[in-house]
Amino acid sequence: MLSIVMLQVSLMSPTEEGAYKKKDFQRTKDDDLDLFLSKKSQDKGVRLAATKDPEPTKSPEGDPEPKDDVPKELTDDEHDEQIKSARTGRAQAEAYHDVTVLRKKAHEHSHKAAKFFHKYKSNEAKRQKCSSRAVAYREKADGRREKAKESRAQIKEYDMELRGAAQGKGDLSPEALRNKMAVFERKAAKADAVGKKFESKAADQTEKAAKYRTRAAKFLEKSKLHESEARMYGKRADNLEKA
């Protein structure tokens, strides 16, 4: 076929041959353009198909998935070991709870011991203050008694002078001496009264000091008892923790 076409072309004139070549070139160009467009449309279709999500594969309804987590049957030794482990854990939890209870009781008794010891110290301080006041009042009473003694001694002197004045030996008149004796008797009586008052106050302070001393002893005893209880519970908790 190709040889026949070539023969026909060789028999054509130069003008006809040029027109034939031009027509053949145009046909070849059109064929190449069609081929290019067909390839481009095929590539675009492939890209669109690739971008679409793949449809999920549906598993058959009557075929359920096999389960991998099938419970494994335990042996007797493994079961006994689990029971032993559970008992050990329970014993440890109970022991921890017992330790916390003992610690709590120890702290409660320790707190009460500290509270009663504070009360003991407070009452002891009050007792000491009352005792000091009682001593001060007794010292004041002793001072007043000394003044009363001095006044009585002065009264004796004036009495002796009064006896001499009756015999005409004194410088002062008997009336003046009697007035002085009355003044000193009043001073002695007042000093005795003030001394008795201070002695009464000293007795009151002594009684209060004794009361505070009794309270302090009671609170100290309670403090020591709670302190002993706290130590006992603390030792029990320590021994339980060691065990």
Range of the domain at 225: 106-242
In a domain, 81, yes or no: no
Asked if residue 161 has pLDDT above 60, the reply is: yes
In a domain, 100, yes or no: no
Nearest alpha-carbon partner for 103 in 213, 204, 224, 233: 233
Give residue-wise pLDDT tens across range 186-222: 999 999 999 999 999 999 999 999 999 999 999 999 9
Query: Higher-confidence residue: 165 or 229?
Result: 229
In a domain, 129, yes or no: yes
In a domain, 198, yes or no: yes
Chain-centroid distance of CA 178 in Å reads 82
Query: Higher-confidence residue: 228 or 162?
Result: 228
| CA distance linking residue 165 with residue 179, whole number of Å | 14
Per the prediction, the chain carries an average pLDDT of 79
In a domain, 99, yes or no: no
In a domain, 26, yes or no: no
Are the beta carbons of 209 and 137 closer than 8 angstroms? no
Asked if residue 7 has pLDDT above 60, the reply is: no
Task: Report angle CA 221, 223, 224 to the nearest 5 degrees.
Answer: 65
In a domain, 7, yes or no: no
Q: How many domains does the chain have?
A: 1
